[in-house]
Amino acid sequence: MKVFKFGGASINTAERIQNAGRILASYKGEKILVIISAMGKTTNALEKVVDAFYEGRKDDALQLFEQVKQSHLTLLKYLVTIQWKAAEDQLRDFFTEVEWLLHDKPVREYDYYYDQVVCCGELLSTSLVSSYFNEAGIRNQWLDVRDIVRTDDNFRDAAIDWEYTRQRVEAQVMPLFAEHDIIITQGFIGATDENESTTLGREGSDFSAAIFANLLDAESQTIWKDVEAVMSADPKEFPDAQPIAALSYREVVEMAYYGAQVIHPKTIKPLQNKNIPLHVRCFLKPELPGTVISQQPVHNLPPIIVLKKSQVLMELSSKDFSFVEDKPIAQLHEIYDQVKIRPNLSQNGAVSLLCCLDDKPDKIEKLALAASAIFDVQLEKNLTLLTIRHYSREKYEELTRGKTVLLMQRTPETVQVLMR
């Protein structure tokens, strides 16, 4: 059994949906659980629907949702003819669920509504793609993942109830594979024990795929992306970025930790725990081998570069020249918890402390305000945090040339510099 994940970009046009079908058809006879994201930028569009609804702009919310509806209906008309009526009815059921909600007034917290509305992106995409595949002869069974993946009610960042989910996979998903080779379901979403929809955090469907791979004891997981492979840097920033054929789980976890946007950071653990290899392949060029990520340590990696822009340097100095010791540091960590922010890098000195953070303006403001009770606070914005794994002196010099380095940390494997 294999698990495939198709991201939003791999199904954002009729041609791409047909292309995904060809990829699947080339695995004829294999058992595959397919996780599909919302189409293209649907999740962003649905976020705007929630915002309008929550700000009391009901007509805007309905209008914005209408655009999401139309884009799916248009695509369905183009792709599905014979079973068109049944397929459209299924989409319309999901539309109705959202529209009912939009006609109410918000009385609960934002995050709750977010999940109830945004989850429809993957319900629509999977339902549409499943209908098309069936019509194209790629027989498959559609499954509502909310019947399987149980979470807590921490909306927008829900935590998986592994035990319950395991039982549902055994009771419901495994028997389905006795009758079907391909099961299509949603990533990114789940449900609480009260049947409220939840989401697992943006880009969460890589993680959903890993949950299924783990619980199904899959032989492998494949993420189909628009890049050739995992690259040594973002090719948009670094045209000489190279594809990497093999990586260890450990390397990928480190890369994600430093901010590389390759794979959702939670994805690796469920795979590592069962020693399931993760393939990253290109849906536009399925003949390429892509990257395989596994337990196997990989040596001689090229320098791997991660750039994080919009960074803030916060300098915290003790107010009376006393040493920055355990107590103020513990207080600072409490503030991080309250504000729900984590520094990307920090460095202690005798009477001051430097932290580098993502510039989320409202959080930074709260943090600076709370910290100013203990420290003198100074902020500098518009900085870049550069991380190089497996750095060489030449690479380091090339990438920091002409920049002012404000903070630097180095281990034998990794160098990090905050630059102006």
Whole-number Å distance between alpha carbons of 69 and 194: 27
H-helix or E-strand containing 128? helix 120-135
Least Å distance, CB 123 to ligand ASP, is 11
Burial (CB count within 10 angstroms: exposed 0-12, middle 13-18, buried 19+), residue 41: middle
Among 8, 121, 243, 277, binds Mg ion (CB under 5 A): 8
CB of 188 to Mg ion, least distance (A): 8
Nearer to ligand ASP, 45 or 415 (CB): 45
Looking at residues 4 to 23 of the shown chain, list those that interact with ligand ASP (rule: CB under 6 A): 7-8
Q: Nearest CA to 146 among 190, 188, 201, 113?
A: 190
> Using the rule CB under 6 A, is 202 a contact of ligand ASP?
yes
Which does residue 190 touch among ligand ASP, Mg ion, none (CB within 5 to 8 A, set by kind)?
none
State how beta strands 141-142 and 182-186 pair. Answer: parallel
Shorter beta-carbon distance to ligand ASP: residue 212 or 336? 212
CB nearer to Mg ion: give 37 or 125.
37
CB of 44 to ligand ASP, least distance (A): 7
- The dihedral through the CA atoms of 21, 127, 69, 158 has a sign that is negative
End-to-end CA distance of the chain: 49
Q: From 35-43, 63-71, 296-304, 375-383, give the range in contact with ligand ASP by CB under 6 A.
A: 35-43
- For ligand ASP, which residue of 3, 38, 209, 218 counts as binding (CB under 6 A)? 38
Residue 38 CB contacts under 8 Å (≥ 6 apart), including other chains: 8, 46, 121, 122, 124, 125, 188
Segment lying near Mg ion (by CB under 5 A), choices 1-9, 154-162, 244-252, 294-302? 1-9
Among Mg ion, ligand ASP, none, partner that 188 touches (CB below 5 to 8 angstroms by kind): ligand ASP
- Using CB under 5 A as the binding rule, whether residue 7 contacts Mg ion is answered as yes
Report H helices in 185-267.
205-215, 249-257
Residue 222: contacted member of Mg ion, ligand ASP, none (CB under 5 to 8 Å, by partner type):
none
Q: Is 192 in the site for ligand ASP (CB under 6 A)?
A: no
Nearest to 125 by CA among 60, 201, 181, 46: 46
Site for ligand ASP in 102-161 (CB under 6 A): 121
Written as six digits, the tokens of 416 are: 């990090």
Q: What is the DSSP string of 276-336?
A: --EEEEESS-TTS--EEEESS---SPPPEEEEEEEEEEEEEEETTS----HHHHHHHHHHH
Report how far apart, in Å, the C-alpha atoms of 22 and of each of 16, 136, 284, 354 are: 10, 10, 11, 52
Which residues inside 203-242 make contact with ligand ASP, applying CB under 6 A?
Answer: 203-205
Report in angstroms how near the CB of residue 223 gets to Mg ion at its nearest.
10
Nearest to Mg ion of 7, 270 (CB atom): 7
Binding positions for Mg ion, rule: CB under 5 A: 7-8, 37
Binding positions for ligand ASP, rule: CB under 6 A: 7-8, 37-38, 43, 121, 187-188, 202-205
